[in-house]
Structure 1
Amino acid sequence: MELKTCNILGLDILVTDMEKTVNLIEQNIEQLRGKYICVGNVHTTVMAHDDPQYHTVQADAAFVLPDGGPLSGYSRKHGFPEAERVTGPDLMLALFARDNGLKHYFYGSSEETLALLKEKLAEKYPHLQIAGMVSPPFRELSEAEDKEMIDQINASGADIIWVGLGAPKQEKWMYAHKDHVNGVMIGVGAGFDYHAGNIKRAPGWMQKLSLEWLYRLLQDPKRLFKRYLVTNTRYLWLIHRK
């Protein structure tokens, strides 16, 4: 795979758009098996800048997608006018819509959310092959439990394992299981909740203006205040300082 990237705060972010990304995954599915894809935003990029261990996790991915508008915007300003935003939830829909025979596995969230997700996906994408869905315990698994979980994923024949554990947990989980799964892992944060209908996406105009973070902040200010306001401010300071 020949990848074009832009270095942002020490992390190589893929220069791409949705169509290129979907084609990249479909056409290279065999080479991607056992690897993982990070969906990067301002929050994860700043975390990678500040935490060497998390930087290693991000840098070891097959590639890091520009979920956050500021990342693709930075790329456009630095010599890559073709760079576009590729969000995790939108990537899910783009791949679900393709009748490509790929099998999908969902790891994360709650049993209730997964049940809703399965119902909605069956209605909208009747051709979609769901290999399995698992809501892991909200605790660290024992070595035996973890092995059983991975064996279950591999036995399902899944080509794509969607991981919805939230950052940085999902990236660390994918890094720990690199070369142990037979499919490609993609971390999509709240993607399961969006498509199950638990969380509303920001209006299109807010997404185009890179204000989706503000919409989410207003929905859940207590949990997301530090992530968005503090991290976004630090990102702007770090970029300006370069």
Structure 2
Amino acid sequence: MNDPFRSVKIMGIPFANTTRNQFINQLQTRIQNHQNTFVVTANPEIVMYANRNEPYRNLILKADYISPDGIGIIKAAATLKTPLPERITGFDIFTGLLKWADQTQKKVYFLGAKPHVINLLTTKLAANFPGVQVVGARDGYYKDESLIAAEIKAQQPDIVFVATGFPKQEQFIASHRHLTNGLWMGVGGSFDVFVGIVKRAPQFWQNHHLEWFYRLITEPKRLKRQMIIPQFMWKIHQLKKQNKL
């Protein structure tokens, strides 16, 4: 793992110990220098999954950077007395890099989400970020991965955003990142939020670190997934006790 930020480990997963702006600036520098870069944005759900799935854990440990996506990660770091400065969400990195790509005419490849979301995405990009060179936009329901890989190899994008959810998006990146010396990043549901299909929590909820609760209220089906958070924090408190022994 490339680590200019002196990472903080939580359950063995090293998180970039930096601010959002510094993190995005570092990614921009690597893109400009054509450095192959794999970014994972990890929340408690991903950490817990990696804890019980060794192949996935080994895969994400090969990433260049892992960002603390989720207030649960920030709280865990504070509990373990190794605080991180702030949450760095996948969506914030996604939109930050899009704005920069618009200004610098970078080539970007988009993979994931439903077909109508991808259609909305390309329409919104053309209207709001005309400087972004969209060299590919495929939905996440592809049947032939080799065709996607061939397209990426031919187009040589500066950035590849994969929005197929974990672990699929990280598995895809790990298998194909050699195809172009750009930035590869899994962004989960960011395409849906970007086009307005899924509403991000209002600023009040974000400021009070209650974005997860807003999502739960507006999407009750997420209850099972959200139950991972108390399980995660229980494990963190267990680790804290062990470290005191």
TM-score w.r.t. the length of structure 2 is 0.87
CA 31–238 in structure 1, closer or farther in 2 if over 3 Å, else same: farther
**In the alignment, which residue of structure 1 is the partner of 2:210?**
211
**Which of 94, 102, 105 pairs up with 2:106?**
102
**In the alignment, which residue of structure 1 is the partner of 2:147?**
148
**In the alignment, which residue of structure 1 is the partner of 2:236?**
239
**In the alignment, which residue of structure 2 is the partner of 1:43?**
45
CA RMSD across the alignment: 1.9
Shift, 1:72, TM fit: 2.9
Q: Is 1:226–2:224 an aligned residue pair?
A: yes
Equivalent residue pairs, number: 233
What is the one-letter code of the residue matched to 1:123?
A
Q: Could you tell me the percent identity over the aligned residues?
A: 29
Shift, 1:213, TM fit: 1.7
CA 32–216 in structure 1, closer or farther in 2 if over 3 Å, else same: farther
Question: 1: distance between equivalents of 2:47 and 2:149?
Answer: 28
- Structure 1, unaligned runs of 5 or more: none
Question: 2: distance between equivalents of 1:48 and 1:76?
Answer: 21
- Structure 2, unaligned runs of 5 or more: 240-245
Shift, 1:58, TM fit: 1.6
**Which of 3, 7, 30 pairs up with 1:5?**
7
Shift, 1:64, TM fit: 0.5
Secondary structure class of the residue paired with 1:26: helix
Secondary structure class of the residue paired with 1:166: coil
**In the alignment, which residue of structure 2 is the partner of 1:123?**
127
Question: 1: distance between equivalents of 2:12 and 2:61?
Answer: 9
**In the alignment, which residue of structure 2 is the partner of 1:88?**
90
**In the alignment, which residue of structure 2 is the partner of 1:67?**
69
Shift, 1:75, TM fit: 3.5
User: How big is each residue's C-alpha offset from its partner over 1:186-207, in whole Å with a ceiling of 9 and x where there is no partner?
Assistant: 1010000001110000111212
Shift, 1:166, TM fit: 0.9
Shift, 1:76, TM fit: 4.9
Question: 2: distance between equivalents of 1:218 and 1:154?
Answer: 42
Shift, 1:31, TM fit: 5.6
Moved over 4 A (4+): none
What is the one-letter code of the residue matched to 1:237?
W
Stretch of structure 1 that moved more, 87-96 or 204-213: 204-213
Question: 2: distance between equivalents of 1:89 and 1:106?
Answer: 14
What is the one-letter code of the residue matched to 1:183?
G
Secondary structure class of the residue paired with 2:177: coil
Q: Is 1:197–2:196 an aligned residue pair?
A: yes
Question: 2: distance between equivalents of 1:72 and 1:8?
Answer: 10
Secondary structure class of the residue paired with 1:179: helix
What is the one-letter code of the residue matched to 2:233?
L
Secondary structure class of the residue paired with 1:177: helix
Question: 1: distance between equivalents of 2:238 and 2:76?
Answer: 14
Q: Is 1:25–2:23 an aligned residue pair?
A: no
Asked if the contact 1:37–1:63 (Cα under 8 Å) also holds between the matched residues in 2, the reply is yes
Shift, 1:134, TM fit: 0.7
